[in-house]
Amino acid sequence: MKNFLKEKKIIFVVIIGILIASGAIYFSGKRINRDREETRKIFKEVCPNTPQLPNNSVKLVTKVIDGDTFLIEGGYSVRILGIDADERGYPCYQVAKDKLEELILNKEVRLEKGKRDKDQWCRYLRYVFLSFSGENVGLELVKEGLAVARFSEEEVKYREEISQAEKIARENKIGCKWSGLPKKNQETKNKTKNKKLSWQRLIPEITGLRVVDACQAGNYYGEEMIVEGKIVDAYRSRTQTVFLNFEKAYPNQCFTGVIFNSDQDKFGEKPEEYYLGKVVRIKGKIKEYQGKPEIILKDPVQIEIGK
């Protein structure tokens, strides 16, 4: 009798356990679905006044903002995928803008979707083609040395041909990006190069890694690299995360080094002030966050100041 009751008790416990587990799975599934619905709702509310733009829509260009951004009919903004041109205040801003105006202003363009529909500023993200000729506008700007190739990890379409066009333009010193800087800026650039910064740790001979310029880092998502550039903008967020922005200030930075609060005691007091204005090298895997390349810094051995 005792054995019988014991067996019954075990069976009862097993049944209760199964019911609890099933309930947890059920409600967990409901919570996940609810979270997904909330995420979709939030995403829709981010750009409430920006309508859907079907793939390969043909639109009239009404205004050019800079070398990679323009407005279409209705006043909506489009950011050209696959390239990056100078913002206002940088050497090649005007010449790139002028060329884009020549190519597309008051003309119809075909707007081809990439992996993402819009960015955080509600700009449509599109590969851009002249509707009457089929010419790839971004590719043309890179060929002429007025923009550089810039791709997120998920964007692979046209990457090879645009990256190859940049390589050819760079090697042949074509256009403002590679040879056409105003004399004053070119002299400043040459002085920086002639300074011959020395590096002790983050060099290919020791690490076995390639060194790339900060503004080219976006071409190497997912790869372990050494990224070199000047930190021109640095700040600490409300969550105490430190962001070291290279070559351009946020949100136009070429590349970012990120130090989370949990790792900052290793870097000394106020790393956002210590590294600001210095030319540094950062080692690590290049990741993509909101369309920009970054490396997470967990240890000071990943960063070195040029001397």
**Beta pairing class for 279-285 and 287-289:** unpaired
Beta bridge partners of 303: 282
Distance CA 3, CA 291 (A): 66
Which one is catalytic: 37, 73, 123, 135? 123
Distance separating the N- and C-terminal Cα atoms of the chain? 86
Q: CA triplet 227, 232, 238: central angle to 5 degrees? A: 95
Helix, strand or coil for residue 78?
strand
Distance CA 65, CA 59 (A): 16
In a 10 Å sphere around its CB, with 0-12 CB exposed, 13-18 middle and 19+ buried, how is residue 194 labelled?
A: exposed
Would residue 223 show up in a list of annotated catalytic residues for this protein?
A: no
Which one is catalytic: 38, 73, 87, 223? 87
Q: Which residues contact 95 (CB under 8 A, 6 or more apart)?
A: 146, 175, 176, 180
Would residue 36 show up in a list of annotated catalytic residues for this protein?
A: no
Q: Which amino acid is at 74?
A: G
Which one is catalytic: 36, 40, 79, 228? 79
Would residue 123 show up in a list of annotated catalytic residues for this protein?
A: yes
255 phi-psi bin (left φ>0, alpha ψ -120 to 50, beta other): beta
Q: Which residues are catalytic?
A: 79, 87, 123
